[in-house]
Amino acid sequence: MSITKHEGKTLTKQALVIDECYFINCVLRDCDLFYSGGDSAWMNTQFENCRWHFRGPALKTIQIAQQLGMLKQPQTPIPFPASTSKMN
């Protein structure tokens, strides 16, 4: 499998599979980043408002680390109670 090299790029609002990717001097802005456990690297790369999605072996590693207490469990947002009073 070949490695994809991104150098000196600004990537905005993209869905990127980062397995087998190498980022040098890049900015990833408002991107969805998908990681399954393959090789990847970044040097001097900024991640701005990106969302990480872990799949396959990477997801299983995250889950076992959470079960062992090595990582915090994701927090479920507390639902905002519906108001029973009427506004005038």
> What tens digit of pLDDT does each residue of 15-57 get?
999 999 999 999 999 999 999 999 999 999 999 999 999 999 9
Q: What is the pLDDT of residue 73?
A: 74
pTM: 0.75
In terms of residues, how long is the chain?
Answer: 88
Nearest in space to 35 (alpha carbons), one of 22, 21, 53, 20: 53
Q: Please list the residues that pair with 53 across neighbouring strands.
A: 34
Q: How far apart are CA 20 and CA 56, in angstroms?
A: 15
The first and second tokens of residue 58, run together, are 């990477």
Q: How far apart are CA 4 and CA 18, in angstroms?
A: 9
